[in-house]
Amino acid sequence: MYIQCLDCRKKLKVKSGSIPYQGAVVSCPGCGGKLKVAPRDNQEADMTKIPVNKRKHKKEVKWHDRMTEMIRGFGYQSKTHEFNMLFSLMKEYRKRFGITFFDITCSARLAHVDRELAYNVLEFSGKCCVPPANGFESCVASMIEGTSEVLNSKDSTGRYTVEPVMRVQYPDSFPALIKFSLDAAFETSYGEVLYGNAVRIDLSLDNLRSVRAPFDGKDLVRYARIEMARYPVDTGRLTFAQRTTPGLHVHTEPDPELRCGDPDVLSLIEQYS
């Protein structure tokens, strides 16, 4: 596993078995800071079972199997805190948007970032994954509100906040950041078509948890980094701190080598400029 210092961004690789049961204090090799670590204790009873009264409903069984398969595909194992929490999030989204939300409206995936810090990102993409705007059916405000409610109601100890999630990083650590994006087609000057994010919204766990209901998204910029452009948005150059610092970044200038004619993208840029 990797222990990483969020202050100076230094990483230290250690064997999981070398950490005693009672925990230990590790000195950061970069700044000398003290990092408290403990053996991983994420086992938990399976909280995702279908209620007895719904086991004969084919739609319920299909949705349950679809969600558990998706979360396993992210790299999480059942009977763990992380798996149960992610399943609770999916149940909350279903309550808000319906049983076919991830089949028709929105897609979800998990991405692993390993740059100056290592962390996981839960990514949602689709036509609805945009900031609230005229002419758009945005799911973002409701998803953020629901995510905040689940995290705060089911994690009173603060287990799923940025510092503990990222201090000791495992491949299946809980996502430290949630991203919403709208993809668009971009035509090159020589006729080739490329696809990429035209709109991106990034929120850290801490910013998500600070959102309170009711949340309509009008002050989304207080909690999220919002970036949109007439060319593919590239946040690969950004540090974790930069990606999670709230703010609005609208790039209105066109790229001479890439043309975006997507009316949704152009409408969003116009409304947020």
Residue type, 71: I
Q: For 116-131, how does the pLDDT look when each residue is reduced to its tens digit (9 = 90+)?
A: 899 999 999 999 999 9
Pairing outcome for strands 118-125 and 258-259 = unpaired
Taking a C-beta distance cutoff of 8 angstroms, is the pair 161, 206 a contact? Answer: yes
- List the Cα angle 212/216/219 in 5-degree steps: 80
The DSSP string of 4-24 is E-TTT--EEE--GGGS-TT-E
- The reply to whether 32 and 119 lie within a common domain is no
> How many Å separate Cα 103 from the centre of its chain?
19
- The reply to whether 21 and 96 lie within a common domain is no
What whole-number distance in Å separates Cα of residue 158 and Cα of residue 151?
9
What whole-number distance in Å separates Cα of residue 161 and Cα of residue 206?
6
Q: Mean pLDDT over residues 46-74, rounded?
A: 91
- The reply to whether 218 and 129 lie within a common domain is yes
pLDDT at 2: 84
pLDDT at 117: 92
Q: Mean pLDDT over residues 218-236, rounded?
A: 92
Q: For 146-177, how does the pLDDT look when each residue is reduced to its tens digit (9 = 90+)?
A: 999 999 999 999 999 999 999 988 999 999 99
Instruction: Grade residue 93 by pLDDT with cuts at 50, 70 and 90.
Output: very high
How many percent of the chain have pLDDT more than 90? 69
Q: Is the pLDDT at 13 greater than 90, yes or no?
A: no
26: Cβ–Cβ under 8 A, 6 or more apart, which residues? 3, 12, 14, 34, 35, 36, 37
Taking a C-beta distance cutoff of 8 angstroms, is the pair 172, 231 a contact? Answer: no
211: Cβ–Cβ under 8 A, 6 or more apart, which residues? 144, 145, 148, 223
pLDDT at 194: 87
Which domain covers residue 35, as residue numbers?
1-39
Q: For 20-43, how does the pLDDT look when each residue is reduced to its tens digit (9 = 90+)?
A: 888 888 888 889 988 888 888 899
Instruction: Grade residue 46 by pLDDT with cuts at 50, 70 and 90.
Output: very high
Q: How many residues does the chain have?
A: 273
- The reply to whether 3 and 59 lie within a common domain is no
pLDDT at 197: 94
- The reply to whether 153 and 179 lie within a common domain is yes
Q: Is the pLDDT at 259 greater than 90, yes or no?
A: no
- The reply to whether 2 and 126 lie within a common domain is no
What whole-number distance in Å separates Cα of residue 173 and Cα of residue 181?
22
- The reply to whether 15 and 144 lie within a common domain is no
Q: For 189-211, how does the pLDDT look when each residue is reduced to its tens digit (9 = 90+)?
A: 888 898 999 999 999 999 999 99
- The reply to whether 59 and 130 lie within a common domain is yes
pLDDT at 215: 97
pLDDT at 37: 86
Q: Is the pLDDT at 16 greater than 80, yes or no?
A: no
Which one is predicted more confidently, 45 or 234? 45
What whole-number distance in Å separates Cα of residue 272 and Cα of residue 160?
32
Q: Is the pLDDT at 17 greater than 80, yes or no?
A: no
What whole-number distance in Å separates Cα of residue 242 and Cα of residue 235?
9
- The reply to whether 23 and 141 lie within a common domain is no
Please, what is the average pLDDT of the chain? 92
pLDDT at 260: 87
- The reply to whether 65 and 107 lie within a common domain is yes
Which one is predicted more confidently, 85 or 187? 85
Contacts within 8 Å (CB) and 24+ apart, 40-44: 40/1, 40/16, 40/168, 40/170, 42/80, 42/81, 42/82, 43/79, 43/80, 43/81, 44/79, 44/80, 44/81, 44/84
Number of domains present in the structure of the chain: 2
- The reply to whether 3 and 96 lie within a common domain is no
pLDDT at 236: 80
Cα atoms in the Cβ-side hemisphere of radius 13 Å centred on 273: 11
Inter-axis angle of helices 81-97 and 58-74, to 10 degrees? 130
Q: Number of helices and strands (H, E) in the chain?
A: 7, 12
Q: Which of 77, 85, 51 is nearest to 154 (CA)?
A: 85
- The reply to whether 5 and 60 lie within a common domain is no
